[in-house]
Structure 1
């Protein structure tokens, strides 16, 4: 029996990296019977057969997991947006942040295509950068064509299991190729008719970057809040998390309740109005339980 981590899932095989190499493994039938699917990032034990192949026997307990894309035990999420092509959306950014915060994963924000931005777009993005940095988020606005910009972020991958989140076309694969051209990850431009990126990545794989691992994934095609309860949502907004205990009602949803500390903080400018507006949109979505899809 050997131990390792699944670093790639492709065509029914799970590629497990151990101290002795990478083994192409199949999952035991019992996993299918129990409706359990091994995920990239899983720590597993496996039996070795021959020709660097084997069978996964046990999946260790997960720290966290995503369903789409299927990946587990992530320590860091880098949310990648673009200043344009596709157009930057603070609503979509906050949606990603809510999901990352709900799973207690460390977030970072990267906005790309600075080299394509107008002076007005640069000013607008720098304003967003300052606002999110005040909330405690790491935020980099950069051009993937500039080596000096890449040097600003390369150390963030060290000793982390990182997943890149964002719409297709924002530059996730381009970012990985810029960090290590040997990856040769296929990239594609923006569909002019749809105004969104084209799918390029077809499977999930962990790639080695700076003594860490980063996931190249097909993207987050559905950003649903199905795992969150209404009472948990404000805990995923860092500025509301600090105020919630000051509300009159312990289960305050910060919507129509009186003597709400969060609403008071919005009124006096302590909480950005657009962030609060996004919170209300997500709250309604959770209450109605209707999944919303991105244009990934």
Structure 2
């Protein structure tokens, strides 16, 4: 039976790229899934490696899904080995709390992550009087913070065509997914990296400070430099339903080296005596913003747990 990878899922149909075919030139096979998947509460996902059988009308049926190496719930996609987390430096204003929330979700999956700060051309000069926008020095400070934690950080400007080559090289040979809130320039960036496509983009609503949802479904696209990438629906609301309270600390990379020295096993780094994480915060080894966001997320998770 032929094998392939699901490159698009839409309205109950799965578009399968045959094994060994080039996504830029090959025709995908339009498939339905076998009823047995529904009975087992299994949904095929974009990125799944599958076997399929052809039907008389030239379409196909997905008959087997191979084991996944990774799986994301939002966006729903399988077998990704890199998440590109895209945030604009402004329009909308860079929200570090939301950035850290995305990072927690990605860390929980164990998938590698690349931070991409877009719209670098909109940075404000440091000497601008009483500027409320992101300045050059502030972005440099944020970049140093996250690089110090261990994240790769790249900045881009689609308008100036800057940073696109660096991103393309980083994604070469990978199956990656672009994630982040709406209006940050994900589709604009991908338009720079993929010849012959024109992904819909929308300007930021100045009143709301966020973009319209321009991407409606998850779909794998072929990059000019090689590799597959998914443009995904933008979203700004995340919950922690799939993460336990005790596991939150492990999703903050910089906590690891200190938490090993905590007096109590399973320390939540709140009020426990001899907590090395809190000591590291006090000494400046862990950024105040990161610890504050940890506490916020912990409170949110506990409240959700009580409700459910």
TM-score, normalising length: structure 1:
0.94
CA distance in 1, matches of 2:57, 2:119: 45
- Pairwise CA distance, 1:193: 2.4
Give a deviation string over 1:132-189, Cα, whole Å, max 9, x none. 1111111112212233421222101111111111111000000000112412101101
**Structure 2: gaps spanning 5 or more residues:** 127-134
* Aligned pairs (5 A) from 1:133-172: 133-172=147-186
1:86–1:75 distance in 2 versus 1, CA, 3 Å: same
1:189–1:4 distance in 2 versus 1, CA, 3 Å: same
- Pairwise CA distance, 1:106: 0.4
Q: Secondary structure in 2 aligned to 1:35?
A: coil
**Is the aligned partner of 1:62 residue 2:68?**
yes
Give a deviation string over 1:12-67, Cα, whole Å, max 9, x none. 21001113652110011111222211110111111112454200011111222222
**Is the aligned partner of 1:90 residue 2:96?**
yes
* Aligned pairs (5 A) from 1:212-223: 212-223=227-238
- Pairwise CA distance, 1:218: 1.2
Q: Which residue of structure 1 aligns with residue 42 of structure 2?
A: 36
Q: Secondary structure in 2 aligned to 1:192?
A: coil
1:201–1:87 distance in 2 versus 1, CA, 3 Å: same
Q: Which residue of structure 2 aligns with residue 24 of structure 1?
A: 30
CA distance in 2, matches of 1:206, 1:265: 42
Q: Which residue of structure 1 aligns with residue 125 of structure 2?
A: 119
**Is the aligned partner of 1:253 residue 2:259?**
no
CA distance in 2, matches of 1:15, 1:221: 28
Give a deviation string over 1:177-226, Cα, whole Å, max 9, x none. 01124121011011222211101111110001122110011124531111
CA RMSD in angstroms, aligned pairs only: 1.6
1:221–1:71 distance in 2 versus 1, CA, 3 Å: farther
**Is the aligned partner of 1:239 residue 2:254?**
yes
- The range that moved more, 274-283 or 222-231, is 222-231
Q: Which residue of structure 2 aligns with residue 6 of structure 1?
A: 6
CA distance in 2, matches of 1:199, 1:130: 31
Matched pairs, number: 291
**Structure 1: gaps spanning 5 or more residues:** 292-296
